[in-house]
Amino acid sequence: MNSAKPAIRRAVLPANRHGRDFVVGDLHGCYGPLEQALTAVEFDTARDRLISVGDLVDRGPESLRCLALLDEPWFHAVLGNHEAAMLAHAGDGLQGGTPQAARLHMAVGGEWLDACWPWAENAPLQQLMRRAAGLPHLLRVGDEAVDYHVVHAQLPVNLLGRRWTDKRLEDAWTELDPTVLVWSRSLFTRKPLIQRAWQKGLSPVFCGHTPGKEVRIRQSHVCLDTGLVYGWTGEWNESAITLAEPGAGGVQYHRFELRPKTWVGTGASR
């Protein structure tokens, strides 16, 4: 039995010295609210960058259009658990994965992928799948002085041992388990008694994966999943798409509330 840990992928982006960076939470196929939110903040594709915490696909109405953002030079993303489920469903060579993988993806909103069949004859989908398969698990943004990190779920939490710092991440990122980075929810589901907002020595770690009504900050992790897709479906009365704008003075949050299937409602920045 092969128990080897999956290989981790990391990417590094230099600081954006010509425009602004925006980090966005889980999109889940909701392209319309994203488009309206970017218009509201006057996003400039020639200067600004949009960085996603992953989960571009599933549940919402435009998964393929959100996945196609991977072709844009101003767009960057890390691997989310829904991309992982999508790739497992598609299988090697887009010939189909195991029945178990197909059932798992369909259960979490992957029906849209079947509408693209036959996958192996769909050249645009092939290109997007290749891009998705190469997405990093961990993204560091900044030059010598780290500005921030991006991961889908969280860094490993070890309450009794060493905690992650910028330096430790730089020196020992290969020790990370990709499964934790993509799938774990422990940081945002445990009681907050042991979860301070900021952790000494660790720059902001923007993440998503665990939906909530507001942005949450624990141990330098900033969870930006504010339930976008649940606002579109009408399952939540309070739901939003949130863009975080890191800057020299801290992080500004642009929150745009959702109305069921009518996209963006009111917006506010703070």
**Average pLDDT of the chain, as a whole number:** 90
- Confirm whether 18 is a catalytic residue: no
Catalytic pick among 28, 76, 82, 254: 82
pLDDT of residue 5: 67
- Distance from chain centroid for Cα 139: 11
pLDDT of residue 270: 47
**37 is written with which tokens?**
């939110």
The pLDDT confidence band at residue 160, using thresholds 50, 70 and 90, is low
Closest CA to 64 of 11, 127, 108, 22: 127
CATH for 10-269 (3.30.9.10, 3.30.1540.20, 3.40.50.11750, 3.60.21.10): 3.60.21.10
> Other C-beta atoms within 10 Å of 268: how many?
10
Average pLDDT over every residue of 135-139: 98
pLDDT of residue 260: 72
Angle between helices 99-107 and 81-90 (to 10 degrees): 140
Alpha carbons within 13 A on the beta-carbon side of 221: 29
